[in-house]
Structure 1
Amino acid sequence: MLAVTSLGIWLPDFTFRTRQGFLKPVANLGLPCYQRRWFVLSNGLLSYYRTQAEMGHTCRGTINLATATITVDDACNFVISNGGAQTYHLKASCEVERQRWITALELAKAKAARMQAESDDSGDDFSPSSAPAAPGQGGSSQNSEVQSALRTLGSKVEDLSTCNDLISKHGSALQRSLSELDNLRLTGEAGDKIRQVTERATLFRITSNAMINACRDFLALAQAHSKRWQKALQAEREQRMRLEETLEQLAKQHNHLERAFRGAAQANATADNKSAVGPRKGEASDEDDDNEFFDAMEEAPEFITVPADLQFHKRSSSNISGFNSEMCPDDQSLNDEPLAMNQESPSQEMVPLKKRRTRIPDKPNYSLNLWSIMKNCIGKELSKIPMPVNFNEPISMLQRLSEDLEYHELLDKAAKCHSSLEQMCYVAAFSVSSYSTTVYRTGKPFNPLLGETYELDRQRESGYRSLCEQVSHHPPAAAHHVISDRGWTLRQEITVASKFRGKYLSIMPLGTIHAEFEKGNHHYTWKKVTTTVHNIIVGKLWIDQSGEIDVVNHTTGDRCHLKFAPYSYFSRDVARKVTGVVMDKDGKAHYVLSGTWDEKMEFSRVMQSSRGGENGTEGKQKTVYQTLKAREVWRRNSLPESAETMYYFTALALTLNEPDESVAPTDSRRRPDQRLMEDGRWDEANTEKQRLEEKQRSVRREREREAASQRTSSQSEEGAPHDNYQALWFERCEDQITGEQVHLYKGGYWETKDRGTWEGCPDIF
């Protein structure tokens, strides 16, 4: 991989270790090695990025070579320092490449210093032609304004040049006339010459006046733009100073937290050993609410995969059963064919009833001061914060749950599997695929009203029907039930616990997802990981998924442990990485899953496993899996055209809020504030949202009064619930698998829809 500099020299990228001026020395950061970064040298500026793909949007740092010093450490290392404010410790791949970089940097430094000296001599504080935008930053509107001003100034300069030529021409003619007049004697020709001199003097006066007027216009225009540029430059300098102070404070906090984290590692390990007396995994607790999320250091992998020997490939292609007689023929086919990819897609067998929409109105550009709203909400639960629709996307949480079915074909293929281990690969990939729609979706979905429902009827197109209902308001909980004609059922009840921490927002889904298959009577369960929204106050919003998922087959005891690696600035690994191992009930590994939650997942069959060397920091042994060639099991669908103007909705998400007159009166499609927001009428949507929330509160108060009255009259036992609300299409009971209190679909919705009688539905809109 090569980088092209502005000097026309091809230079390879190199590994480096960076140190900002306000941080502690590199040794105190505990960085074990150099990190690979992409460097670009252009116009006297040296900028770097995590990868070459980041050049279009995210610059990680820039140093001005005009005031920098370049020193050589040893054969491959060198240092660039900018007066103590910034210091880069760089390492090239070899001594030759280091010398190429040193030569290019010195030439760029000399050129930048010369341009800066010329700018200082001219007295200009700001020169549009010599101040390019920083790599990865915007500024198209400012560039357009500067270009327009330059064109106007250019036309004035041309006017001055024309006037100068005319003055020179007429001045020369006037001089010749005057000379001739001086040589004349007082004869009859004197009158003609005098008239000629007068005419030329008049022309000269007119031209001079034109030049003076042009100079006046040029001066006024230059003064006006100079003041604007001075103000803009001063504002940028002040903003930069504020950002540098903020970054310095954050860096100090980060170093302090890292030291505290390392110091408390021993205590945390002891606390983990005592987890039996604490809350169980998956349960919410007060301690969990106070957890902070940090930019995690790179962690050592739990296992290592290496290619299996060629003999395994040959034996697997000829007679894999000779290698391991315990594997069933259906299980063997997983490596011979890519997970039933050769089967005909079930979605091609059905013909849709109608053409679905492919566009929604573009997102309007509304400005809003986020900090004025969020500063009083730190530490509160997200569902209790009155948020305007400006932070929403025109879709409800019930519809977001229905988006889990974006890749339902994975369950269709899993239903056809004969091997439970092969089926586990599909189910695990399906559990990861539901996060692929969140990578660009920074908007908050609408909180459903109590009793709100959403149906997704894709029986003709894809063979399934989905129904969601908001069954609880505090805490907010939604029940979801999906039945497919292709041999599987999916159900879940999700309660979202969320906290706003000032710098980030953590969303912790609580609840269990169940997938049941008619063939083999296999029953799978898993939970969701934590979602973190970063840069809430300053910077560009971005989303990360982190945590672990255990997909369990309660019929056979098979298990797949998935790990979502949190984003780390110091990690050399790919971002958004997910790894997992499929094991049977005896703990024997059969498949290794790897990929990213925003792009794709692959599987590899394990031929042999062994315990490797120790991980030096913790003394743990890594497991080494010898695997066959990886095959793709899932890949994210591409986004529709112009998705950035439509909230980054997928093709399925664009159809979720499509009007449908046959749905229930409580369906999210009929929600007025959500419909107004989708149409771009955000002010009206905010007013309607407040009305709906107040209506819900008044109905809740009335329901609580009735429940209190009934409790008093019947002298019910102490501790009875204050709210006697009961869901319409789901009933509360104990789950036989997990023992949790959940809401299960009791039937009747689709029959009611066929009859077209919705008298039992509440009036919530």
Structure 2
Amino acid sequence: MADSSVKNPPPENFKGWLYKWTNYIKGYQRRWFVLSNGLLSYYRNQAEMAHTCRGTINLSGAYIDTEDSCNFVISSGTQTFHLKASSEVERQRWVTSLELAKARAIQMMEEDSDDEEELPSDVDRTELQTTLHILTSKLEDLGICNDLISKHGTALQRALSDLEVIQDPTEAISKLKSINERATLFRITSNAMINACGEYLELAQAQGRKWQKALQYERDQRLRLEDTIETLAKQHNSLEQACREKGRQDHKSVKGTDADDDDEDNEFYDATEDFTSVQLISNVKGHNRTGSDISGNSIASSEGESRPGEPLSTDDLMMQDKHSHKDSSSYWLKPSSIQTGRVRRKTIPTKPTAGLNLWSIIKNCIGKELSKIPVPVNFNEPLSMIQRLGEDLEYAGMLNTAAECKTTLEEMCYVAGFTIGAYASTAVRNTKPFNPLLGETYEFDRSDDLGWRALCEQVSHHPPAAAIHVEAKDWILWTDITIASKFRGKYLQVFPQGIIHIQFRQTGSHYTYRKVTSTVHNIIVGKLWVDQSGECEVVNHTTKECCRINYKPYSYFSGDTPRKVTGVVTDTMGAAKYIISGTWDQKMEYAKVLHTSMDKGSRAKPLYQTAPPKLLWQKNPLPPNAENMYNMTSFCITMNEPEEGIAPTDTRNRPDQRLMEEGLWDDANKEKLRLEEKQRATRRKREAEATAAAEAGKPCDSYKPVWFDRKMDPLTKTITYIYNSRYWDCKEKGEWPECQDIF
């Protein structure tokens, strides 16, 4: 039956319900069909039109045949639709519309073919060059005629002016002869000008029509290509969903009722053999299974164990005694046990609902850097990229616990867990942070409750780079991160570049590691989702111990747990001492290796026997109504909280970001444009000053950050940005002489 809203529709845009033959088991099934631009597409229902197309036939080469009173067939050679309408009248309406759409599609193809013949090609480039040469020559002739007309017109006007003052008739007669000559010259040059203008106009009009047709052809081709890409993206999304469902069904059929338990038992094997060729065979003492990746009741081993049945949470870790190691260093100012009584906010304004077509904005940006894509604040979250660096510290309590471990190998486990916990919130966060302005800063002082404080600064604009320095009683962390990214059409990849350092004051352990690749899927159509993939190597340069972590990319065709992470901690000799496993968005555990043997099979991989696992960290729950607050965690909500006494360049003073958080998106977009233009003007001024200084032979320093100095890292032998230890002194004095006006 047809939808009542489509009575007497235009043939090029016809839609309604039809019955489509599926198979001999299900027979005819009701589907929603749409005829548009010479394409016939169908969906299970009208809601699917926004994201999933089930199939499409191009009518330009299709065959349409009627069978009985209600049935008809459409075939394109590669696929065939057997359709049935609710009545003979309804079938006739569809067939008529399809025939008209087919004729129109064929006509458009023929016009495109004619246009292609008229378009400039390699063969007629000479003709194009000749035409341009003629037009240039005609334009030069027009310039000459214009000069002559001006010259002779001036002379004629002067002669007429002289005639007016002559009193003697004889002299006037002789003067008329001169005037007649000048008028003749003016008439000749005027006629030449008119003829030249006519020739130029005729030639320009002829070529203009030809070039206009070529331009229109290219524009139409681009629109068709965009439509094709969107259609392909929808079909790709549909195929992925079908493959995912098929994979789940196959997985269940193989594993039966014990699928979940089997998946738990085998969960560690595949990910580890990807990069270490190891296999976990059993846990000692026969503990019961839990929901963890490495089974057991979270009963700890003899090294810093937790009580049976009470795994350590991140809150427990942060509340442990931080005075077990005495530290007389003046570098740390506030012990973490001091409580200031400050109450931090628990909510932010609800996110407004505003509809925008993301594809219409980014379709011209395929292959560009993320920082160069002009995206309005509607797709942002009210945080900047340098604040996202600070968000990596949500589970920094693990570093406090690591500083109290009895061995550096167990210390390595907690450091590895901290590196993984930095990704916990990205599973549900697919909005884009604000690009920081050059010189923008961010301080996040949590010394009163969490025992650390951080400072970030945008130290470079091209390439965009930010530096961060974090200090605590027992450890310090520093790095500078450059974000490289590529938009590939259907997905966006982000490649953080930079080495992250963590140093413990008591043991002297100095760790380094790099971040892995982040990928945002379904950019064009479907629900956005984020995945992490790649290998991360955490190295203790003091002891030469190492942990190799593998972030397994999610695949529809794999039975593995999504967002799976595994790793092996090895000692100085390369022997495995601990196994870590879990998911980067939920929790991670670690287990001590008790015995290692070799698999006698063809793959010859190590088999590890482990003690019961212990919890490294578990994801903090999202606050109520988080979906309307950009899916921010409680920790993240506090990051953009207004605060007095901060630097004038602090990102919390940024007007467009603050307006966006308050839900005033139109005002935020205006402020965003103003700030970007102000930044460009400042950059142009700086470049002009550098050019002037170079021409004068004077030295001119390039841009220098305020709180970080560019130096050689003695450990990695790379250029990096090191904190110059001046920020907190300036804050204590309330003086910011070096901060520029960037907002």
Shorter-chain TM-score tier? 0.5 to 0.7
Distance 1:470 1:66 in 2: 60
Paired with 1:750 and 1:712, the residues of 2 have a C-alpha distance of 39
* Deviation string, structure 1 residues 360-395 (Cα, Å, up to 9, x no partner): 111101111212211110111111121111111010
Residue in structure 2 matched with residue 607 of structure 1 by the alignment: 594
Amino acid at match of 1:420: T
Cα distance 1:132–1:474, how it changes in 2: closer, same or farther (>3 A)? Answer: closer
Mapped to 2, the partners of 1:758 and 1:479 lie a distance apart of: 19
Among 544, 553, 559, the residue aligned to 2:546: 559
Residues 331 and 419 of structure 1 are in contact (CA less than 8 Å); yes or no, is this contact kept in structure 2? no
1:500 equivalent to 2:478? Answer: no
Matching residue within 281, 289, 311 for 1:306: 281
1:351: how far off? 2.2
1:346–1:412 CA contact under 8 A, matched in 2: no
**Which residue number in structure 2 is paired with residue 731 of structure 1?**
709
Determine if contact 2:499/2:513 at 8 Å carries over to the other structure: yes
Q: Is the 8 A contact 1:512 1:526 kept in 2?
A: yes
**Pair 1:246–1:542, CA change in 2 (3 A):** closer
* Structure 2 Cα separation of the partners of residues 521 and 299 of structure 1: 30
How far is 1:133 from its partner? Answer: 10
Q: Are 1:466 and 2:471 an aligned pair?
A: no
Q: State how 1:132-143 maps to structure 2 within 5 Å.
A: none
Following the alignment from structure 1 to structure 2, what is the Cα–Cα distance between the partners of residues 609 and 470? 47
| Equivalent residue number for residue 574 of structure 1 | 561
Structure-to-structure mapping, 1:523-672, within 5 angstroms: 523-613=510-600, 620-672=603-655
- Are residue 687 (structure 1) and residue 670 (structure 2) matched? yes
For the residue of structure 2 that corresponds to 1:551, the secondary structure is strand
Aligned residue for 1:519, secondary structure, equals coil
Aligned to 1:429: 417
CA contact (8 A) 1:335 1:605 kept: no
Task: Name which of 378, 391, 397 aligns with 1:403.
Answer: 391
Determine if contact 1:424/1:582 at 8 Å carries over to the other structure. Answer: yes
TM-score of the superposed pair, with normalisation by structure 1: 0.59
Question: How far is 1:559 from its partner?
Answer: 0.2
The separation in 1 between residues aligned to 2:719 and 2:612, in whole angstroms, is 43
Return closer, same or farther for 1:447/1:709 CA change in 2, 3 Å cut-off. Answer: same
2:464–2:482 Cα contact (<8 Å) kept: yes
CA positional deviation for 1:708: 2.5
- 1:287-302 → structure 2 map (5 Å cutoff): 301=274, 302=277
1:756 aligns with 2:730: no
Asked if 2 retains the 8 angstrom alpha-carbon contact of 1:356 and 1:655, the reply is: yes
Compute the displacement of 1:245 (Å): 6.0
**Structure 1 residue 706, shift from structure 2 partner:** 1.7
Shift of 1:250: 7.7
2:464 and 2:569 mapped to 1: Cα distance? 33
SS at match of 2:623: coil
Take 1:410 and 1:735, find their aligned partners in 2: how far apart are those partners? 26
| RMSD across aligned positions (CA) | 3.8
- Give runs of aligned pairs for residues 231-250 of structure 1, distance below 5 A: 246=233
Q: Which amino acid aligns with 1:727?
A: P
Question: Which residue matches 1:710?
Answer: 693
The one of 695, 718, 722 equivalent to 1:744 is 722
- Where structure 2 has 5 or more consecutive residues not aligned to the other structure, the ranges are 1-18, 31-43, 52-89, 102-226, 242-269, 289-299, 323-335
| 2:320 matches 1:345 | yes
- Matched to 1:501, the amino acid is R
List per-residue Cα deviations over 1:486-543 (Å, max 9, x = no partner): x100111100000111100000000011100011111000000000000001111000
Which residue pairs with 2:428 in the alignment?
440
1:589-627 alpha-carbon deviations (Å, 9 max, x no partner): 000000000000011110111222456xxxx53221111
Alpha-carbon offset, residue 353 of structure 1 = 3.5
For 2:573 and 2:271, how far apart are their aligned partners in 1? Answer: 31
Checking the alignment, whether the CA contact within 8 Å between 1:350 and 1:462 is kept in structure 2 is no
Query: Counterpart in 2 of 1:384?
Result: 372
SS at match of 2:636: helix
- 1:312 Cα deviation from its structure 2 partner: 13
Aligned equivalents of 2:568 and 2:541: distance in 1? 17
What letter corresponds to residue 306 of structure 1 in structure 2? I
Residue of structure 2 equivalent to 1:412: 400
Q: Aligned in 2, Cα 1:298/1:66: closer, same or farther, shift over 3 Å?
A: farther
TM norm structure 2: 0.60
Q: Distance in 1 between matches of 2:587 and 2:360?
A: 39
303, 306, 314: which one pairs with 1:333?
303
1:67–1:703 distance in 2 versus 1, CA, 3 Å: closer
**1:207-286 equivalent positions in 2, closer than 5 A:** 246=233
Q: Distance in 1 between matches of 2:742 and 2:546?
A: 42
1:482 is aligned to 2:482:
no
Aligned residues of 1:331 and 1:422 also touching (Cα < 8 A): no
Q: Distance in 2 between matches of 1:359 and 1:309?
A: 46
Q: Report the Cα offset of residue 418 of structure 1.
A: 2.5
1:655 and 1:475 map into 2 onto residues whose CA distance is 29
Residue 676 (str. 1) matches residue 659 (str. 2): yes
Asked whether the equivalents of residues 605 and 627 of structure 1 are also in contact (C-alpha less than 8 Å), the reply is yes
Contact 1:312 1:607 in 2 (8 A): no
Unaligned 5+ runs, structure 1: 1-63, 71-81, 84-111, 117-130, 139-226, 255-296, 314-329, 717-721
Following the alignment from structure 1 to structure 2, what is the Cα–Cα distance between the partners of residues 336 and 645? 37
Q: Distance in 1 between matches of 2:446 and 2:284?
A: 46
* Structure with the larger RCO, 1 or 2 (CA within 8 Å, 6+ apart): 2
Q: Which moved more, 1:604-613 or 1:342-351?
A: 342-351
For the structure 1 residues 467 and 679, does the alpha-carbon distance in structure 2 shift closer, same or farther, using more than 3 Å as the test?
same
CA distance in 2, matches of 1:728, 1:677: 27
- Which whole-Å CA distance do the structure 2 matches of 1:67 and 1:381 have between them? 44
Distance in 2 (alpha carbons) for counterparts of 1:554 and 1:691: 46
Residues 693-729 of structure 1: per-residue CA shift (max 9 Å, x gap): 111111111112222233333467xxxxx97100001
Matched letter for residue 759 of structure 1? P
The answer to whether the 8 Å contact 2:301/2:611 transfers is no
1:640-696 Cα deviation digits (max 9, x unpaired): 000000000111111111111211100000000001101111111111101101111
Residue among 357, 360, 366 paired with 2:354: 366
- Identify the residue that residue 206 of structure 1 maps to in structure 2: none
| Residue 704 to residue 134, structure 1, CA distance change in 2 (3 Å) | closer
d(CA) in 1 for partners of 2:239, 2:612: 46
Structure-to-structure mapping, 1:122-161, within 5 angstroms: none
Which AA in structure 2 matches 1:376?
N
Decide whether the 8 Å contact of 1:346 with 1:462 is kept in 2. no
The residue type equivalent to 2:320 in the other structure is S
Corresponding position of 1:291? none
TM-aligned CA distance change 1:624 to 1:65, over 3 Å:
farther
Distance 1:399 1:346 in 2: 28
